[in-house]
Structure 1
Amino acid sequence: MRLVMLGTAGGPRPVPKRAAPAQAIVHRGEVHVIDCGNGVARQMAMAGIARSDLAATYITHHHADHMLDLGALPLIAWTDGREEVIDLYGPPGTTAMTHDFLSMAAPEIAARTATTGRRAFPEMLRNTDIHDARVVRERNGLRVSTALVDHPPFEVALGYRFDSDQGSVVFSGDTSYSPALIELARGADVLVHEAIFPEALAAQTEGANAGTLMDHLLGCHTTAADAGRVAAEAGVGTLVLSHLVPGGDVVSEEMWRDAAASTFDGRIVVARDLQEIPVGSGADRMMTTAKER
């Protein structure tokens, strides 16, 4: 099992050094992408991950930075030669979003189908809207389960856990401190958790709506220290901080790491785009960028 951090920024505004949120699990020839932020297909190309191997996508919630390429990534996988079914998992409304994308892209789909003679793209897509905590997939030696995390105003925001005989990885999605996430992550090899740095946010939340935005950030997200608490209480092996807000140079890797280390004494990784995180028996390997493999 490979874990590749495709995009590690958080929020809808692009930043120079980090791409929008997305991660990939590569397992037994299948690619599973968790969140589809803008540009995820290019990040896969940069990481050397074949889009034609895309087996499934998993959306944590419906903020734009997590789902803008929900339709685009499977479409590009299809143009790259994918003909097997692609499963699309996400909160309620994900199926409707997929149908809306198919309507928007209908001219492109019709033209490319006519000129290639390949299987019609809509036939390849299989949607599952997730309303509650449960096992959503179990095949090819990989088990995927969910928890409901806390990210208002969304009624359903999801964390995902991936288990195989090669290790276990949990993704928090966007959430405040969440007991449900702690249970989902219990004993996992790796926890990928979002993180904000409140002390650095004040200067970036100026203007008429600054107070409302700051209240949202503090009430609906998790500080690096609280991410460390979650990791400690869940007993995970490695904590990976990602979806970093702010995602620029204003907060150094050392600052992120020190904040998490105040509450968690295990391995801490401040994620970078295209970084591969060792999982399970490979946890002591040197971390590399995916394209170095």
Structure 2
Amino acid sequence: MFSASRNLTLDRRGLLLGGLTATAGAAVACAGQPLFAQATAPRAMPAKGARLVLLGTKGGPRVGGTRSNPANALIVDGNAYVIDTGMGVTAQYVKAGLNLADIRAIFISHMHSDHELEFGNLVYNMWAAGALRRPVEAYGPVGIEAMAADFWRLNRMDIATRMADEGRADPATLLRAHDLKSGRGQVMSADGVTVTAFTTPHPPLDNLAYRFDTPYGSVVYSGDTAYNPALADFARGVDVLVHEVLYVPGVDRLVKLANGTPAFRNHLIESHTTAEQVGQIAARAGVRKLVLSHFVPGDMDWITDAMWRDEVAKHYKGEIVVGRDLMEIPLG
């Protein structure tokens, strides 16, 4: 797909290989492994079973504080399904001890940067680590196909050079992006996992909630959504509902600190679901466990877990989990 100039002042292959010790170089050659491997060795994981990993639980694009930007992973029988790819998703995924080579599919809820900014980077990082060994499917709102094509175009010089110097396959052939034009219905069914999408309002955009039905139970990710009772029907009876959450006093403090306008405050509240409303959704859906994530605001440490939980518990009497980065939740 790409071409690379071979008239380099400094031979990159020599530079890269020259930095390896004789032992490391021999190990790479003997094992037939990629030049660049995943920096942190993944943990040994059971071949069967399912669990959720909350990679990033902060709402919004700001970076910093104790929470990373939105990203999640559902691991089912050794296959990983990544839901949203906010800033830092690859680092969080590796920090969780997960194997990049296990990623089977990526799901994007909507086209706000805190949910899709590292979509291309995640796939590229898999490729650079030698972990992109089979095609990865990617699903999202209309625009994800163009976003994938634009990413390869943006990085064409780097990719071409690595393909030529390191003998790598064209990564564009290993990512299959799919625009979900209807925004509702079954998305995929493979390896015992069926994924269904459901459109919810997140003004000025629409958002895709995803339901995963697995041999070990079911999970719904709300994505970003205004209060929407219909989402409760979509999540009816699931084992785990992962829902975004907004704390109104925290938003009021945020608006004041940012010298924001009443319109800014109204936009935040009208685009998200308050903690009390999340409790109403979970109660109506009859879910077994509610996991709070995508906290708005997500970088105000004075908002305690009890504050989030107490608002939700006004309506929902089941198990409430206040999510934290890298938290793992067994399914089944």
State TM-score, norm by structure 2: 0.82
Counterpart-to-counterpart distance in 2, 1:103 and 1:187: 43
Which residue is 1:31 aligned to? 80
Deviation per residue, 1:76-98 (Å, 9 max, x gap)? 11122222001111001111111
d(CA) in 2 for partners of 1:119 and 1:157? 34
What is the root-mean-square deviation of aligned Cα atoms in Å?
1.1
Aligned partner of 1:285 in structure 2 is none
List 4+ stretches of structure 1 deviating above 2 A.
206-210
Q: Where do 1:137-152 residues align within 5 Å? A: 137-152=188-203
Question: Could you give the per-residue CA deviations for residues 90-145 of structure 1, whole angstroms, max 9, x where no partner exists?
Answer: 00111111111111111121112112212210000111111221100100000000
CA distance in 2: counterparts of 1:47 and 1:157, whole angstroms: 27
1:49 paired residue number: 98
2:128 paired with 1:76: no
Alignment of 1:112-261 (within 5 A): 112-131=162-181, 132-154=183-205, 156-206=206-256, 209-247=260-298, 248-261=300-313
Distance in 1, matches of 2:51 and 2:122, equals 20
Q: Secondary structure at the match of 2:54?
A: strand
The separation in 1 between residues aligned to 2:261 and 2:89, in whole angstroms, is: 30
**1:33: Cα distance to partner?**
0.5
2:159 alignment partner in structure 1: 109
Distance 1:22 1:194 in 2: 12
**Counterpart pick for 2:314 among 262, 271, 276:** 262
Deviates more, 1:35-44 or 1:101-110: 101-110
Question: Aligned partner of 1:216: which letter?
Answer: H
- Structure of greater Rg: 2
Q: TM-score, normalised by structure 1?
A: 0.93
d(CA) in 1 for partners of 2:141 and 2:321? 28
Work out the CA distance in 2 between the residues paired with 1:267 and 1:15: 29
Report SS of the residue matched to 1:118: coil
Q: 2:114 aligns with which of 65, 81, 88?
A: 65
Distance across 1 between alignment mates of 2:93 and 2:126: 11
Cα distance in structure 1, aligned partners of 2:252 and 2:218: 36
162-171 vs 198-207, greater mean Cα deviation:
198-207
Q: Report deviation, 1:275.
A: 0.1
The correspondence for 2:66, drawn from 17, 33, 45, is 17
Deviations 1:140-190 (A, max 9, x none): 000000101110101x31000011111111000000111331122111000
The one-letter code sitting in structure 1 at the alignment partner of 2:184 is A
Contact 1:227 1:260 in 2 (8 A): yes
Is the 8 Å Cα contact of residues 9 and 15 (structure 1) preserved in structure 2? Answer: no
Identity, in percent, stands at: 44
Report the CA distance between 1:56 and its aligned residue: 1.0
Residues 217/270 of structure 1: CA separation in 2 closer, same or farther (3 Å cut): same
| Alpha-carbon distance between aligned partners in 2 of 1:185 and 1:18, rounded to the nearest angstrom | 26
Q: CA deviation at 1:209?
A: 4.2
Separation (CA, whole Å) in 2 of partners of 1:101 and 1:218: 33
- List gaps (5 residues or longer) in structure 1: 281-293
| 1:84-95 → structure 2 map (5 Å cutoff) | 84-95=134-145
Amino acid at match of 1:58: F
